[in-house]
Structure 1
Amino acid sequence: MCTRLPDSEILQLSGADAVPFAQAQFMNNATALADSGWHWNGWLNAKGRLVAFFALVRADAQTLLLWLPAGGAAALASSLQRFVFRAKVRLDATSSWQAAGCFTPPPAGTGDIVIDLPGEDAGSRRYLWLHQSGSGPGIDESKASRWRLADLRIGVPYISPGQPGSEQFVPQWLSLDRLHAFDLKKGCYPGQEIVARMHYLGQSKRAAFVLSGPGEPPPAMTRVTGDGDTAAGEIVWAIGDSEGWHALAVMSKERTEGPLRLATGVAVQIDTSQPDLRPADA
Structure 2
Amino acid sequence: MTESTQASTPWQAFLEQQGAHIEAANGAEVRYFGPTAAAELPDNFVAPLTDLGLISLSGDDAASFLHNQITNDVEKLDLATARLAGYCTPKGRLLATFLMWKDAGQIMLQLPRALQPAIQKRLQMFVMRSKAKLADVSEQYVALGLAGNTAAEVLQQWFPQLPAQPYTKIDNEHGTLVRVADSRQAPRYQWIASVEQAIAAWPALTQKLSAVGTHAWRLTDIYAGVPVITQPTQEQFVPQMINFELIGGVNFKKGCYPGQEIVARSQYLGKLKRRSVLALVDAVDVRAGAEVFSSEDPGQPCGMIVNAEPAGTGKSACLVEIKLAASDNGTIHLGAVGGPVLQLQPLPYELAEPQ
TM-score by length of 2: 0.72
Q: CA deviation at 1:233?
A: 0.6
RMSD: 2.2
Alpha-carbon distance change, 214 to 270 in structure 1, aligned in 2, over 3 angstroms? closer
Larger CA deviation: 186-195 vs 62-71: 62-71
Equivalent position to 1:33, from 59, 65, 77? 77
Alpha-carbon distance change, 165 to 277 in structure 1, aligned in 2, over 3 angstroms? farther
Q: Does 1:46 align with 2:119?
A: no
| Distance in structure 2 (CA, Å) of the matches to 1:129 and 1:193 | 36
Gaps of 5+ in 1: none
* Higher RCO (CA-CA < 8 Å; seq separation 6+): 1
Equivalent position to 2:228, from 136, 154, 158? 158
CA contact (8 A) 2:275 2:321 kept: yes
Counterpart for residue 310 of structure 2:
240
Larger CA deviation: 98-107 vs 181-190: 98-107
CA contact (8 A) 1:153 1:210 kept: yes
Alpha-carbon distance change, 237 to 156 in structure 1, aligned in 2, over 3 angstroms? same
Percent identity between matched residues is 29
1:30-68, Cα deviation, whole Å (9 max, x unpaired): 1121114211101111000000001110112x4101111
1:183-220, Cα deviation, whole Å (9 max, x unpaired): 11101100000011111113421001112211223222
1:103-156, Cα deviation, whole Å (9 max, x unpaired): 21333551621111233322x201111122332156976353332111112222
Alpha-carbon distance change, 275 to 197 in structure 1, aligned in 2, over 3 angstroms? closer
Structure-to-structure mapping, 1:98-247, within 5 angstroms: 98-103=142-147, 104-105=151-152, 106=155, 107=158, 109-110=172-173, 112-122=175-185, 124-136=186-198, 142=212, 144-160=214-230, 163-227=231-295, 228-229=297-298, 230-243=300-313, 244-247=315-318
SS of corresponding position for 2:92 = coil
| Distance in structure 2 (CA, Å) of the matches to 1:275 and 1:205 | 18
TM-score by length of 1: 0.89
Gaps of 5+ in 2: 1-44, 160-171
Larger CA deviation: 228-237 vs 43-52: 228-237
SS of corresponding position for 1:134 = helix
Larger CA deviation: 191-200 vs 151-160: 151-160
Aligned structure 1 segments of 4 or more residues deviating by more than 6 angstroms:
138-141
CA contact (8 A) 1:217 1:246 kept: no
Alpha-carbon distance change, 79 to 141 in structure 1, aligned in 2, over 3 angstroms? farther
CA contact (8 A) 1:153 1:277 kept: no
Structure-to-structure mapping, 1:43-82, within 5 angstroms: 43-60=87-104, 62-69=105-112, 71-82=114-125
State the structure with more CA Rg.
2
Q: CA deviation at 1:73?
A: 1.8
| Distance in structure 1 (CA, Å) of the matches to 2:142 and 2:127 | 25
Q: CA deviation at 1:276?
A: 4.0
SS of corresponding position for 1:254 = helix
Q: What one-letter code is carried by the residue in structure 2 that aligns with 1:245? A: S
Counterpart for residue 53 of structure 2:
9
